[in-house]
Amino acid sequence: EAGVAQSPRYKIIEKRQSVAFWCNPISGHATLYWYQQILGQGPKLLIQFQNNGVVDDSQLPKDRFSAERLKGVDSTLKIQPAKLEDSAVYLCASSLRTSGGNTIYFGEGSWLTVV
């Protein structure tokens, strides 16, 4: 079974530039998550989708971050304009359903450095 795919794996941009990350979840998984992991910290949920609807985006900085999941499959996360503090690993994850007992499977992450 293919895992959660993410691209690009690494990106270096200058502040105020824009960047987009792509995620393809495990086939059949209805729930998709984007996490931000700053070095030395645990992952923080940015946004959670159930199919193509948003379940939770309470911690998404909406003035610069946006995410979409068209057709309820793959998803993109965009940052525009980027700030230095956005340097982090962006982890995409998916689960079969939203309920708490479902295992969340993570991708390898997209490393962002803002200079």
Binding positions for another protein, rule: CB under 8 A: 31, 33, 37, 40-45, 48, 55-56, 89, 91, 93, 95, 97-104, 106-109, 111
CB of 98 to another protein, least distance (A): 4
Q: Are strands 105-106 and 88-95 parallel, antiparallel or unpaired?
A: antiparallel
Q: Considering the complex, state which of residue 81 and residue 102 has its C-beta at the smaller distance from another protein.
A: 102
CB of 42 to another protein, least distance (A): 3
Q: Considering the complex, state which of residue 70 and residue 100 has its C-beta at the smaller distance from another protein.
A: 100
CB of 83 to another protein, least distance (A): 21
Q: How far is CA 113 from the centre of its chain?
A: 15
Please report, for residues 10, 13, 14, 111, the alpha-carbon distance to residue 17 in angstroms, rounded to integers and kept in the order given.
15, 6, 6, 16
Q: Roughly how many angstroms between the first and final C-alpha of the chain, as a whole number?
A: 37
